[in-house]
Structure 1
Amino acid sequence: MQTDFSRPVLAIDTSTSFLSLALRVGGKTIIRHEEAGNKQSELILPNIGAMLAEAGITAADLGVLVYAQGPGAFTGLRIGTGVAQGLATPFDIPLVGVPCLDAVAYQITAPCVLAATDARMGEVFYAWFDTQRQQRLSDYLVGKAVEIEVPTTESTPQGVGNAFALDDKPPFAGRADMPTAADYLQLAASGRYPATDAAHAELLYVRNKIALTAKEQAERKGGRP
């Protein structure tokens, strides 16, 4: 599906507890980035409406919609993708999904980058990248941070993502920086990610289980169910 990034572009990231939106119109980018908690579904459409009004356009003027594809918060991802599909469908606007770990990794330019984010349940989502050559070096994975194996390389690994702010963090130093929707927009404009119509927009899942059972929660706390 063809994309036209010369027209207005809206990017949506609801993969974390933040509501992050970016609207690029001409040479100007309007950004909304705020902690939303469990209020993303309440806040997302009013914020998008305000941004479109500020830019003096409507959804029909959008040339591309960019969305965070995952992995990330299950409910948040579904909210963001659902809104993107709802906006795109009436006007046949192409959608571009950008994997969340890619957006995390490309905050750094280096030959060996670990992008790692909080996956809850004592685990992290992660992947290795060579952002200098624009290559992903591993699959998208989920597991315990301490079990992440550093690849054999002459380059010093650099880490980035909110997993580095956890108590159980990856086994080397890293920055806890996270991207905004503007970073997703920039990556989508690179042309490296395919466009699709609204009906075929997909999320990227690397874990089927989304919550601990009551027994597992109790065991993690050292108690009994």
Structure 2
Amino acid sequence: MQADFNRPVLAVDTGTSYLSLALRADGETRLFHQEAGSRQSELILPEIRTLFRNAGITAADLGAIVYAKGPGAFTGLRIGIGVAQGLATPFDTPLIGIPTLDAAASLPPPQSCILAAADARMGEVFYAWFDTLNRRRLSDYQVGRAADIRLPEGCAFSDGIGNAFALENRPPFAGKPDMPTAADFLNLAAEGGFPAVAAAHAELLYVRNKIALTAKEQAERRARP
């Protein structure tokens, strides 16, 4: 499928505790970015309707819908992709999934070895290494203890980004705790490099198979050095 960025484009990010929405129409980007906690499912459709109304469009006018595909909060990601698919399906609107860590890595100026790391709860972080000068990912998407993160072979650290850098047990590298908004996902999609697919073929990026730890596993993890 082919996205049409000459038409309005909506971006949806529900992978963190924030509800982040961006609508680009007629050269203007409207952003809703707010801490929502467990209210994402309650707020997302009314806020999208508000964005549409303010821009004078409907879902039928969209040339693409961009969504955060993870890794991130399991329930939030499911809400986001579900709404994106629901808006896209009646009009055969293309969907573009952007990995959350790729969006985070796009925030600093282009550099050769950026660590993007996000809070994964349960004492772990999601992370990956990027060469944004050459638009390359240098590692797999991974999940694990921040203290266990290592530089890729032959890589000289240049920068770090993501909310994992605000944690008490943060990665052993320098970094800013910023996370992307939906507008950043939209910008990255417009640059190309991420495929547009039909709503039925949209997928999420799961790095962790387990959503929660048992009480015994939590106690064991707290006891680890």
Give runs of aligned pairs for residues 90-169 of structure 1, distance below 5 A.
Answer: 90-108=90-108, 109-153=110-154, 155-169=156-170
Runs of at least 5 residues in structure 2 that lack an aligned partner in the other structure: none
Normalising by the residue count of structure 1, what TM-score does the alignment of the two structures yield?
0.96
Contact 1:67 1:81 in 2 (8 A): yes
Q: 1:153, 1:219 → 2: CA distance?
A: 34
Q: 2:178, 2:219 → 1: CA distance?
A: 31
Match of 1:203 in 2: 204
RMSD (Å), alpha carbons: 1.2
| Secondary structure class of the residue paired with 2:70 | coil
| Secondary structure class of the residue paired with 1:217 | helix
| Secondary structure class of the residue paired with 1:69 | strand
Contact 2:10 2:186 in 1 (8 A): yes
Deviation track 1:190-211 (CA, whole Å, cap 9, x = no partner) reads 1100010110100001110011
Deviates more, 1:212-221 or 1:128-137: 212-221
Residue 5 of structure 2 is aligned to residue 2 of structure 1: no
Deviation track 1:60-89 (CA, whole Å, cap 9, x = no partner) reads 001100000110000000000000000000
Q: 1:142, 1:175 → 2: CA distance?
A: 19
Give runs of aligned pairs for residues 183-202 of structure 1, distance below 5 A.
Answer: 183-202=184-203
Q: 2:154, 2:222 → 1: CA distance?
A: 38
Normalising by the residue count of structure 2, what TM-score does the alignment of the two structures yield?
0.96
TM-superposed CA distance for 1:151, in Å, is 2.8
Q: 1:156, 1:144 → 2: CA distance?
A: 19
TM-superposed CA distance for 1:213, in Å, is 1.0
Contact 2:139 2:152 in 1 (8 A): no
Match of 1:41 in 2: 41
Q: 2:116, 2:173 → 1: CA distance?
A: 12
TM-superposed CA distance for 1:3, in Å, is 1.1
Deviation track 1:94-126 (CA, whole Å, cap 9, x = no partner) reads 000000000000101211100000011111000
TM-superposed CA distance for 1:10, in Å, is 0.1
Contact 2:151 2:157 in 1 (8 A): no
